[in-house]
């Protein structure tokens, strides 16, 4: 099918189903282009909670669709490719978190939103990369804090706030591909460029960054900064928006290797199929949803 025909069919079905298409900033360019809303994990959660559509087609990874289902149980949440998971989220299970909690009775659990609904059900409060500082500052000063699953985001927030965390040993396999040498090489070629990085990057990469931000924060920074050249240390999908929204500026990926294969699983063909068959539905079971909702709502309320 031709691209234009595909886009028109998606548009027609979307109206028929009263559906909204949400896409994460790491999605393929053509998927971002047809989305009604593109954003970071926090923006997507807030939009999923607010929309009055009957159907949400979630172009992202599994935990994001689950979060939409937690916040909007009355809506049908669809994923065009049900196998699009987040390897970092899969690095901790609910059983493992329960064991950790037993080892630290009384500690509060702060979970990055990149976790399964079952893990969220064992959590006191969630955070995303854009609100993690605010969330930590909202916690009682003397509380012991367990942070799961991303040790790099955890380390960044813990250093910024001066709060020690009991840390899980998870990480993002895509962001760890970005190395300090990649940035140094780019800097040598473009000495006037500023460096922005996602907090899932390693501390050696973050030490070279002028700003450490969520994907949406990176988009905002690019618009507002006087810099004409920006080296981007995160998944390469974000370059689509950066280039579209800032035609007068030049963006360099720290490395083209930083591609999340799961984020790229969603294609336009799968979006059309998903709307046509109303599949694959992601529905968090009520008992898990009720427990997880508190942790997600506490986060949304703070922001
Ligand atoms: P953001 O919330 O910054 O978009 O990040 C989500 C993610 O999965 C980063 O790898
Ligand atoms: Fe998960 Fe990393 Fe992919 Fe984000 S980029 S979805 S954290 S694997």
pLDDT digits (tens, 9 = 90+) for 90-114: 999 999 999 999 999 999 999 999 9
Q: Is residue 22 part of a domain?
A: yes
Rounded-to-integer distance, Cα 12 and Cα 125, Å = 39
79 CB within 6 A, ligand 2: no
Q: State residue 37's pLDDT score.
A: 97
Q: Is residue 187 part of a domain?
A: yes
Q: Is residue 217 part of a domain?
A: yes
SS3 58: strand
40 CB within 6 A, ligand 2: no
Largest pairwise CA distance in the chain: 60
**Same domain, yes or no: 75 and 95:** no
Q: State residue 45's pLDDT score.
A: 86
150 CB within 6 A, ligand 1: no
Rounded-to-integer distance, Cα 118 and Cα 66, Å = 10
Q: Is residue 290 part of a domain?
A: no
Q: State residue 290's pLDDT score.
A: 97
Q: How far is ligand 2, taken at its centre, from the CA of residue 114, in Å? A: 8
Instruction: Examine the fold and report which residue of 152, 171, 190 is the final residue of a domain before the chain moves on.
Output: 171
Would you tell me how many other CB atoms lie within 10 Å of the CB of residue 15?
A: 9
Q: From the CA of 41, which ligand is nearest?
A: 1
pTM for the whole structure: 0.97
Rounded-to-integer distance, Cα 40 and Cα 219, Å = 10
**Same domain, yes or no: 236 and 268:** no
**Same domain, yes or no: 202 and 129:** no
Q: State residue 196's pLDDT score.
A: 98
**Same domain, yes or no: 11 and 53:** yes
Would you tell me how many other CB atoms lie within 10 Å of the CB of residue 16?
A: 10
Q: How far is ligand 1, taken at its centre, from the CA of residue 108, in Å? A: 23
Residues in the chain predicted with pLDDT less than 50, given as ranges, are: none
Q: State residue 303's pLDDT score.
A: 79
Q: Is residue 66 part of a domain?
A: yes
User: Domain of 275?
Assistant: 3-84+263-284
Q: From the CA of 176, which ligand is nearest?
A: 2
CATH code where residue 59 lies? 3.40.50.10800
Q: How far is CA 75 from CA 6, 37, 223, 278, in A?
A: 25, 17, 34, 12
Q: Is residue 93 part of a domain?
A: yes
Report which ligand 2 atom has the smallest distance to the Cα of 262.
Answer: 3
Asked if 59 and 31 count as a contact pair (C-beta separation under 8 A), the reply is: yes
Structural domain count, the chain: 3
Q: State residue 186's pLDDT score.
A: 98
**Same domain, yes or no: 126 and 144:** yes
């Amino acid at each position: 099918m031709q691209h234009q025909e595909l886009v028109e069919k998606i548009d027609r079905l979307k109206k028929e189903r009263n559906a909204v298409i949400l896409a994460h900033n790491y999605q393929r360019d053509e998927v971002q282009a047809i989305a009604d809303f593109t954003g970071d994990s926090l923006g997507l959660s807030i939009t999923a909670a607010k929309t009055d559509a009957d159907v949400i087609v979630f172009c992202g990874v599994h935990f994001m669709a689950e979060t939409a289902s937690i916040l909007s149980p009355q809506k049908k949440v669809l994923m065009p490719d049900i196998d699009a998971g987040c390897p970092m989220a899969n690095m901790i299970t609910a059983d493992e978190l329960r064991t950790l909690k037993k080892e630290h009775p009384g500690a509060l659990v702060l979970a990055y939103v990149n976790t399964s609904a079952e893990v969220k059900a064992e959590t006191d409060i969630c955070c995303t990369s854009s609100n993690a500082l605010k969330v930590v500052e909202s916690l009682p000063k003397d509380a012991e804090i367990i942070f799961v699953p991303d040790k790099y985001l955890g380390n960044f927030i813990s250093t910024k706030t001066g709060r020690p965390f009991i840390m899980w040993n998870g990480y993002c396999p895509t962001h760890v591909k970005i190395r300090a040498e990649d940035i140094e090489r780019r800097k040598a070629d473009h000495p006037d460029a500023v460096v922005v990085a996602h907090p899932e990057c390693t501390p050696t990469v973050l030490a070279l960054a002028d700003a450490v931000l969520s994907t949406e924060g990176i988009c905002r920074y690019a618009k507002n900064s006087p810099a004409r050249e920006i080296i981007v240390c995160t998944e390469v999908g974000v370059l689509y928006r950066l280039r579209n929204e800032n035609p007068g500026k030049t963006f360099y990926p720290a490395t083209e290797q930083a591609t999340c294969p799961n984020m790229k699983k969603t294609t336009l063909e799968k979006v059309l199929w998903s709307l046509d068959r109303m599949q694959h539905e992601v529905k968090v079971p009520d008992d898990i949803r009720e427990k997880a909702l508190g942790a997600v709502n506490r986060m949304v309320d703070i922001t």
